[in-house]
Amino acid sequence: MVRLPRRAMLFGRFQPFHKGHLEIVKWALYDVGFEELVFLIGMASENYTPRNPFTAGERIEMIRLSLRDAGIPLDRIITATIRTLETSVGSVYYVLSYVPRVEVLLTRNPVISKIFIDAGIKVMKPPVFNREEWRGERIRRLIAVGDERWRNAVTQSTAEYIVDIGGVERIRFAESTD
């Protein structure tokens, strides 16, 4: 019988991938001891909006850049994307068909937790890491108003990438039209 690695899934929008997400990765891999993590990037079909300014591909790039900055081996990481879905128990099975088998879902979202638990999937709630500063909504707001403190909430490579792809201007434009 083939032994599959101990694997957990981190399901989120990652708008942008920030140091709080990175700390959850370290916790899952090094403290809990998962061998692999699956990043399922949700709302992949929505981008260029105030809440979801980055494309799915850009978010994958940010994840990879951040993990490299932190010295986390990319061979322990699997990424997948999924379009915007309604939140329902039925969606859980659809979601799981897009990723390799996982033992557990890592989430702090109570609604997502409930629907996965109701579908028979184990859920673990990661600890909070500097939530006041490392939160996507706050980071996007800082970018929108021109406050450079946003750079402290992401890794250096991710900050450079956001600038390089025109992400700062995109967020400011999206916020101005909202």
- The secondary structure of 101-165, three-state, reads CCCEEECCCHHHHHHHHHCCCEEECCCCCCCCCCCHHHHHHHHHHCCHHHHHHCCHHHHHHHHHC
- Average pLDDT in the chain: 91
Distance between CA 111 and CA 116 in Å, rounded?
Answer: 9
**What pLDDT score does 58 carry?**
97
15-29, 73-87, 137-151, range with the lowest pLDDT: 73-87
> 94 or 166: which carries more pLDDT confidence?
166
pLDDT band at 178 (very low <50, low <70, confident <90, very high): low
> 5 or 173: which carries more pLDDT confidence?
173
Distance between CA 29 and CA 23 in Å, rounded?
Answer: 10
> 145 or 42: which carries more pLDDT confidence?
145
Distance between CA 71 and CA 9 in Å, rounded?
Answer: 20
Mean per-residue pLDDT for 87-96? 78
Distance between CA 46 and CA 2 in Å, rounded?
Answer: 37
The answer on pLDDT for 32 being more than 90 is yes
Q: Give me the domains of the chain, ranges plus CATH numbers.
A: 7-177 (3.40.50.620)
**What pLDDT score does 131 carry?**
82
Highest mean pLDDT out of 16-25, 88-97, 124-133: 16-25
Give tens-digit pLDDT for 54-70: 999 999 999 999 999 99
